[in-house]
Structure 1
Amino acid sequence: MSQNTDSSFSAELEKQGIDGSLVLGHPSGLFVLFFTEMWERFSFYGMRVLLINFLTSAILVGSPFSGWGWDPVQAGALYGTYAMLLYITPIFGGILADKYLGYRMAVVIGAAIMTLGHLFMAFDSPLFLYLGLGALVVGTGFFKPNMTSILSEMYKSFPQKKDGAYTIFYMGVNAGAFFGMMLCGYLAEKVGWHWGFGLAGIFMFLGTLQFWYAKPIFGKIGDPPTAEQKAATKLQQSTSDNLDDKPNPFTTLDTILIVLMTTIGLAYAFNDPLSKIAGIDILSILQVGDFAGQDVAIMSALVLFLFVVISRLTRYTKVVRDRMIAVIIFAFFVIFFWMSFEQGASSLVIFARDNVDRSLSGSSLTIFNVVNTLLTVVPLILITYVVAKLTKATYGKAPLSNIVQFICFAAIWAIAGWMLYKEFTAESSEITVSWFSILNSFFIIAFANYVSKIWDSKFNPPAAVKYGLGLIIMAIGFGLLAFGAYGVQDGIKVSMIWLVLAYMFHTLGELCLSPVGLSYVSKLVPARMIAFMFGMWYLAIAIGNKLAAILGGQIENITNQYSLSTFFLIFTIVPIAAGLIVMALHPLIKRLMHGVK
């Protein structure tokens, strides 16, 4: 029966011009996307886990481990702007792909630009650092939104298989993040910074080639839209009898205000690191009394944003308006989540480096090496098995893609084997700072299936409760750090178990909240407005990331003035308060959702 089903599925794929070869019951193209995303995430997280550590490490003349000696405030300002822009450029990249480029070409362009960005990052120069970060921001704008668009288009006629496909794809995201942070971090901290940054670039380049050479597998999926397709979409919207599907075009005033607030927002994003690193304050002309120019800019952009949103909401039918208000409420609270969760890229890196006891020897080192070996080898074996299945299914159609994939995995096995051998033969060792960051990906892979089963059971809570649980559970992780760091004096290190437990609770919180958010955007918003509202959603995440870096940069200042526990209590109390408030809003949100479950 299963073979008949697979044969029927394969035949349907072939009718649409997609390669009908199946791997684990899904089109081979899904696994090409899986590995493309995996290598991109390998590169992205491999670089991300190094950046703050590199910028704030001491200057050691002539040493491969010399950092730039920045203080956390400066490093946080730069990283915050970088992280913020990563969630804004995909809005524009998605529009360009929809209208002109097509999804596949947009992915290739984005991957090529990101490869160049990683290459720049391998050079020890401020100019190349800024060029590298800029290229990564632009490249991500093309790459990020269009990978999922290809996947969605591939499964357009097979909605019953889409949930499983997204689950597999999400595993690729986490596998890439896991190995990128582990291996790039190990090379950077044990051999030299440039080796870590360079490795990220190498795998970004190989991932680009793997995707490019797999073009025959996708058929016409992801091709640029034809004139006929554009005309049909426009006609469908204009002739629809459904009021919810009627376009609500932007007025001239809307457009002017959006351009103005975008300009102010970007000016703030660039001014923050400029003022803190180079002492150049381009917004000083906006200073009013005791309010700094940056504060005036933020408040002005917020007022304009609220005016545009409220004025547009009044032009929708009641049901659409109410549901959009529900999305906006969710987006507001998601800011508090990412503001805290993304400490993993800033303050928790500094905390792990400076305040956690990472030295191991004797039996404790042996236990760690056994655990680390299992963490490394077991996922590699499973993913290599998938590579073998994909190669068997597609070698005749995309041999060059498979050869590149073989090179990638041969290199990964070699680097991982070298890392494990070096650690097993050492009498004592210091765990790398970056190792703790892999725990998020590990816990996602370990717990995601169990959390999803709860959501599919009779215990499935409403959306507002999921949000509240996500915020509160994540806050517990910071509460444990505050407890573990309580009373710590200068020179005394905190046990690493507190950081491990913190990452576990952060991940459980993420699993409660993060997947739910995008799901409710797609459920609550009419199809023609999904792209716009996803843009709003990513804007909220961008703001959360920027706030996370700003607050994370204050770890040393708050610790020196108060204590390390006080710093972590901020990210305990604020998310718990936000979680309780959003749960209290459940009756209101339920009414606004008008029956959407």
Structure 2
Amino acid sequence: MSTTTTTTTKQGHPPGLYLLFATEMWERFSYYGMRAIFVLYLTQALLLDKNVATDDYYGSYTGLVYLTPLIGGYVSDRYWGNRRSILVGGLIMALGQLLMFISASFYQNFSVSHNVMLLGLLALIVGNGFFKPNISTMVGQLYPEGDSRRDSAYTIFYMGINLGAFFSPIICGFLGDTGNPADFRWGFLAACAGMVVSIITFELLKNKYLITPEGGAIGGTPEKVAQIEDNTPKRSISENIGWAIGALVLAVAFFYGANIDLIGSFIFSLSIIAPLYIILDKSLNREEKERISVIYIAAFFVIAFWAAFEQAGTSLTFFADEQTDRVVFGKEIPASAFNSINAIFIVLLAPIISIIWVQLAKKGLEPASPAKQAFGLLFLSIGYLVIAFGVKDLNPNVKVSIMWLTSLYFLHTIGELCLSPISLSMVNKLAPPRFAALLMGVWFLSTAAANKLSGTLGALYPDEKLIAAGKIPSIFGFQITNLYEFFMVFVVFAGVASLCLFLLSFRMKKMMHGRG
């Protein structure tokens, strides 16, 4: 490498980062725009009960969305490469959003609308599986091994995610969440347009900007991975069949033994089997296994974070719709628009949090990645504690100030910045190259389990009509009869997880072998 090239790479980030930034921004516009109006569409257009909409539909959909990256990562690592996987995934997701538009166009015919919606959700789930793990992996591939800019790169990339998440609920909510069920289709169509822009941006510029520091293309067919695998032990067909049977048996056990629904049983089964399948691979040495173990331990606790955080799409949207005074300067803000608050804070706070980590690093005080994740859980718990006191003894007919929900999102955003971009960078640094996209898929698998759990927990949201009918939600024998009790569930849930992860972080730091 020439001196000029080295100096350039040290001074700033490669242009490819900003292409991935833009591609992910428009894909996230599509995802979060659809998510912002999804439960409202289910309850206001298709007239489903809240508990059915949150658990059976929202929880299952968002859970499966983060499950399929495991499959997409496997296909990419071994056959397609990142570029082809992103293109195929993007096209399928665009089709999915188009089907959601068609579904909403026929909302008065429940049978037609419902069936088309299921096809749309399926397309979104499959497409995301190919798109999500590969674009996240490509960020790290832009930098040489050990480059200190990688954490910063993921923070910039994460800002792209949240820039899309900021304006998509506003636009899709403005178009779809109007009070007229017929208008939901326009919100879904806007989400479709965002996905199309993402694909076009990536395809037009990928060959020019997605290159290594040496100038070689990244994200192509994984020839190097194939060469590595030629020199390492391979699993036989019978072994792979055995693992598949194990996953099926475990899913059946969840379904019948733990009374978990079919989709949840499938997600939780793979959340156990897939990590074991990777870490027991014979090609891994001791150090690689310890580094992968850190990913798994962190993923387990991060489930608690996302299960509570993702209430933004269900219970917190219901809270914004029913219990929050949304009138600002004489105009009522759509409930779906509240999904943008977190993204606003991300864009504002990300540079500040990044500077804090840099300053702490200069003084030798920067926490290891697992400790940062523990702080993320702590801020999440505090956010729910604040709103729990805001709604204590609240009459169901009284609406609270918009500041309570804003304060919750502010604290949750700090927690997210302590956890999410750090996690993406951590997985990229700790994963052996031949398992890079697959382990990113495993990381998103923990998010799948969290989202499914989020739907289950969201179904605990106290509905006055159901409570009056004697259908009182409960967890571990504890009945949820009001909003204070509901939010305190998340205070305890996230708080305990934070403490446990912090205590484990010291041992995990040693297992990272200097890569944290």
1:474 shift after superposition: 0.7
Aligned to 2:46: 68
1:144 aligns with 2:112: no
Q: Deviations over 1:492-531 (max 9, x none)?
A: 1121111000001111111112223233334444433444
Does the Cα contact within 8 Å between 1:72 and 1:556 map onto a contact in 2? no
Q: CA deviation at 1:209?
A: 2.5
Q: Give the Cα–Cα distance (whole angstroms) in 2 for the partners of residues 306 and 25 of structure 1.
A: 37
TM-score by length of 2: 0.81
Give the match for residue 171 of structure 1. Answer: 159
CA distance in 1: counterparts of 2:459 and 2:173, whole angstroms: 21
Q: How does 1:170-569 map to 2 (within 5 A)?
A: 170-190=158-178, 192-214=183-205, 216-218=207-209, 221-222=217-218, 224-225=220-221, 229=224, 232-234=227-229, 238=231, 247=232, 249-250=234-235, 254-263=239-248, 287=256, 292=259, 294=261, 301=269, 305=273, 308=276, 312=280, 317-360=285-328, 365=329, 428-456=330-358, 457=360, 458=363, 459-557=365-463, 560=467, 561=472, 562-569=481-488
* 1:573 counterpart = 2:505: no
What are the residue-to-residue correspondences of 1:10-21 with 2, within 5 Å? none
- Aligned residue in 2 for 1:276: none
* Distance in 2 (alpha carbons) for counterparts of 1:201 and 1:303: 30
- Per the alignment, do residues 304 and 176 of structure 1 end up closer, same or farther by CA in structure 2, a change over 3 Å counting? closer
**Partner Cα separation in structure 2 for residue 343 and residue 529 of structure 1:** 31
1:128 corresponds to 2:109: no
**Alignment RMSD:** 3.6
Query: Could you tell me whether the CA contact under 8 Å between 1:323 and 1:593 is conserved in 2?
Result: yes
1:218 CA drift (Å): 4.3
Which ranges of structure 1 fall in alignment gaps of 5 or more residues?
14-23, 58-66, 239-246, 270-282, 366-427
SS at match of 1:214: helix
1:111-126 aligned within 5 A:
111-123=90-102, 124=104, 125-126=113-114
* Residue of structure 2 in register with 1:21 after alignment: none
The structure whose Rg is larger is: 1
SS at the partner of 2:245?
helix
| Residue pair 1:257, 1:308 contacting (<8 A) in 2 also | no
How far does residue 339 in structure 1 lie from its aligned partner after superposition?
Answer: 1.0
CA contact (8 A) 1:56 1:75 kept: yes
Go from structure 1 to structure 2 and tell me whether the alpha carbon gap of 1:250 and 1:536 turns closer, same or farther (over 3 Å shift).
farther
In structure 2, the residue corresponding to 1:460 is in which secondary structure? coil
> More deviation in 509-518 or 175-184?
509-518
Quick one: distance in 2 between partners of 1:152 and 1:47? 28
Deviation, structure 1 residue 25: 5.6
Change (3 A) 1:549 1:261: farther
**Partners in 2 of 1:158 and 1:316 — Cα distance?**
20
Q: CA deviation at 1:103?
A: 2.6
- When residues 254 and 103 of structure 1 are mapped into structure 2, their CA distance, relative to the original with a 3 A threshold, is same
Q: CA deviation at 1:539?
A: 1.7
Give the Cα separation in 2 of the matches to 1:526 and 1:307. 14
Aligned to 1:60: none
- Look up the SS of the partner of 2:177 in the other structure: helix
Q: Which amino acid aligns with 2:60?
A: T
**Contact in 1 for aligned 2:207/2:217 (Cα 8 Å):** no
Normalization by structure 1: what TM-score? Answer: 0.71
In structure 2, C-alpha distance between the alignment counterparts of 1:320 and 1:495, rounded to whole Å: 51
Amino acid across the alignment from 2:50: P
| Partner residue, 1:582 | 501
How many angstroms does 1:488 deviate by? 1.2
Counterpart code for 1:146: N
Cα offset, 1:582, TM superposition: 1.9
Structure 1 contact 72–554 (Cα < 8 Å) conserved: no
Q: Secondary structure of 1:122's partner?
A: helix
Contact 1:28/1:217, CA 8 A, preserved across alignment: no
> 1:269-301 deviations in whole A, cap 9, x for unaligned?
9xxxxxxxxxxxxx6xxx46xx64759957994
Mark the runs of 5 or more structure 2 residues left unpaired by the alignment: 105-112, 211-215, 473-480
Contact 2:76 2:85 in 1 (8 A): yes
Pick closer, same or farther for the CA change 1:199–1:224 going to 2, 3 Å.
Answer: same
Percentage identity across paired residues of the two chains: 35
Q: Quick one: structure 1 residues 73 and 321, their matched pair in 2 at CA, closer, same or farther if it must change by over 3 Å?
A: same
> How many Å apart are 1:215 and its aligned residue?
5.0
CA distance in 2: counterparts of 1:434 and 1:102, whole angstroms: 36
Q: Which moved more, 1:321-330 or 1:432-441?
A: 321-330
* CA distance in 1: counterparts of 2:190 and 2:274, whole angstroms: 44
SS at match of 2:280: helix
Q: Deviations over 1:213-252 (max 9, x none)?
A: 335524873564276x4554446xx3xxxxxxxx464466
Letter in 2 for 1:326: V
CA distance in 1, matches of 2:32, 2:137: 22
C-alpha displacement of 1:29: 4.1
Contact 2:151 2:422 in 1 (8 A): no
| C-alpha displacement of 1:130 | 0.8
Aligned AA for 1:576?
Answer: G
Quick one: distance in 2 between partners of 1:118 and 1:90?
18
Give the Cα–Cα distance (whole angstroms) in 1 for the partners of residues 422 and 381 of structure 2.
Answer: 18
Distance 1:75 1:257, change over 3 A: farther
Amino acid aligned to 1:198: L
Comparing both chains, which one has the higher relative contact order based on Cα–Cα distances under 8 Å and sequence gaps of 6 or more?
2
Say whether 1:54 aligns with 2:41: yes
2:19–2:209 Cα contact (<8 Å) kept? no
Deviation at 1:570, TM superposition (A): 0.2
